[in-house]
């Protein structure tokens, strides 16, 4: 007998297949990232790292400390093994030397970044895997870490569609000059107004998006406009997926960066919402008219001992991985959130993962699902407003 999260066959012997339509169907095949060779990025127009208390003040860059890398890799390896024990096939990226200088004819960047968060780069929609553009120059070549796996999938699954969004040039025209010099001097309301108007670091010179800014709900895809995803990127996605309803969304978040800790699908009819990043009223009503319950997440557990060199918000708590409609992997210290979701009937799998945060995020960021059981479904038969 096969149950959610387990399988009668050795996952490594099952035929490779690309199939995933949402974030909750039973997981069969996943990629888990690696912390190997990750660096604190050199400054670039899209992002600046500034950790004066941790040895990397603004303008400096270099390899993450060896002890932090080892601890993060231990947690990633243990998580990968946990998934394998539950009958899920696990693959890993192939790291490169991220400390090296990289360039195109348009620019030179003094460092790369890493390959811990595969979710940022790769999106599965049905039998298609799409490589996102990436708006950081330090991440332009990150796709190389996944090409061996993608080639293997393409060779094994004749139905797989392997797509890549237009590789961006990332010239200075793609960024608003001086953005970071002024944005952090603005008050909260001014920052929120710029988010609502999409007056952020990216211009509309070319389509730009991260895959982690896309939430999959079957026939509906929700694309967050953020520091790494512009309106042109949303327009490209809308044209690329003509058989889907692709929606642009924003929230009351002064630093929008990826949707997967803000608007989190749990199972049909249930979505988790970060209450400090309120969705617009039309989106909330759209979900309610389609009989979805919107849960406001409890406050994250204390981050008094937040890891060094972390650029993640405490709301990374909501960055979790669904193993099936009844099972959620949640960071082990996020007990209040685990208790909240247990009350909705979920089995909670606590996972030690706090050390991974400085390498690019949480359990959802660190994974990219290749295969889930299930088919394309329409969970939103009723329209409302612009949705």
Catalytic (active site) residue 378: no
- b/e 210-226 (16+ beta carbons within 10 angstroms → b): bbbbbbbbbbbbbbbbb
Predicted confidence at residue 55, as pLDDT, reads: 93
User: What is residue 156's predicted lDDT score, i.e. its pLDDT?
Assistant: 98
Which class for 314: exposed (0-12), middle (13-18), buried (19 or more C-beta within 10 A)? middle
Closest by Cα among 276, 320, 281 to 298:
276
Distance CA 181, CA 160 (A): 44
Set 29, 247, 258, 273: catalytic member = 258
The residue from 210, 213, 260, 324 that is catalytic is 210
Report how far residue 92's alpha carbon sits from residue 36's, in angstroms, rounded to the nearest whole number: 11
Instruction: Read off the tokens for 214.
Output: 């896309």
Query: What pairs with residue 34 in β-bridges?
Result: 115
- 312 part of the active site: no
pLDDT, residue 250, reads 93
How crowded is residue 208: how many other Cβ atoms within 10 Å of its Cβ? 28
Distance CA 361, CA 262 (A): 13
Q: Is 115 a catalytic residue?
A: no
Beta bridge mates, 314? none
CA distances, 194 to each of 225, 255, 260 (Å): 11, 10, 21
| pLDDT tens across the length of the chain (387 residues) | 334 444 445 777 889 999 999 999 999 999 999 999 999 999 999 999 999 999 999 999 999 999 999 999 999 999 999 999 999 999 999 999 999 999 999 999 999 999 999 999 999 999 999 999 999 999 999 999 999 999 999 999 999 999 999 999 999 999 999 999 999 999 999 999 999 999 999 999 999 999 999 999 999 999 999 999 999 999 999 999 999 999 999 999 999 999 999 999 999 999 999 988 888 899 999 999 999 999 999 999 977 667 888 888 889 999 999 999 999 999 999 999 999 999 999 999 999 999 999 999 999 999 999 999 999 999 999 999 999
Which one is catalytic: 29, 329, 365, 369?
A: 365
State the pLDDT at residue 3: 41
pLDDT of residue 4: 44
């Amino acid at each position: 007998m096969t149950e959610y999260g387990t399988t009668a066959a050795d996952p490594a012997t099952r035929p490779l297949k690309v199939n995933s339509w949402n974030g909750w169907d039973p997981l069969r095949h996943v990629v888990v990232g690696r912390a190997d060779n990750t660096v604190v990025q050199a400054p670039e127009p899209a992002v600046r790292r500034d950790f004066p208390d941790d040895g990397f003040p603004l303008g400096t860059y270099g390899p993450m400390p060896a002890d932090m890398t080892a601890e993060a890799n231990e947690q990633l390896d243990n998580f990968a093994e946990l998934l394998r024990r539950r009958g899920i096939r696990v693959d890993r990226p192939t790291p490169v030397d991220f400390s090296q200088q990289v360039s195109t004819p348009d620019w030179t960047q003094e460092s790369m970044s890493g390959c811990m968060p595969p979710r940022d780069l790769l999106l599965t929609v049905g039998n298609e895997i799409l490589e996102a553009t990436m708006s950081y120059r330090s991440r332009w070549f990150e796709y190389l870490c996944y090409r061996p796996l993608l080639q293997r999938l393409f060779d094994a699954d004749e139905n797989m569609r392997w797509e890549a969004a237009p590789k961006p040039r990332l010239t200075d025209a793609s960024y608003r000059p001086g953005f970071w010099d002024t944005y952090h001097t603005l008050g909260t309301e001014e920052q929120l107004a710029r988010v609502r108007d999409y007056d952020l670091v990216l211009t509309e010179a070319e389509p730009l998006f991260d895959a982690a800014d896309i939430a999959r709900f079957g026939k509906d895809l929700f694309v967050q406009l953020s520091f790494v995803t512009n309106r042109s990127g949303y327009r490209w996605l809308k044209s690329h997926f003509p058989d889907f309803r692709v929606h642009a969304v924003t929230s009351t978040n002064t630093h929008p960066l990826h949707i997967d800790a803000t608007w989190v699908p749990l199972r049909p009819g249930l979505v988790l919402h970060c209450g400090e990043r309120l969705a617009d009223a039309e989106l909330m009503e759209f979900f309610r008219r389609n009989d979805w319950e919107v849960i406001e997440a409890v406050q994250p557990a204390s981050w008094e001992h937040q890891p060094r060199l972390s650029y993640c918000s405490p709301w990374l708590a909501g960055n979790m991985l669904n193993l099936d409609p009844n099972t959620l992997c949640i960071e082990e210290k996020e007990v209040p959130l685990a208790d909240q979701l247990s009350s909705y009937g979920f089995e909670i799998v606590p996972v030690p993962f706090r050390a991974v945060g400085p390498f690019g995020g949480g359990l959802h960021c660190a994974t990219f699902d290749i295969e889930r059981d299930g088919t394309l479904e329409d969970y939103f038969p009723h329209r409302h407003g612009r949705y």
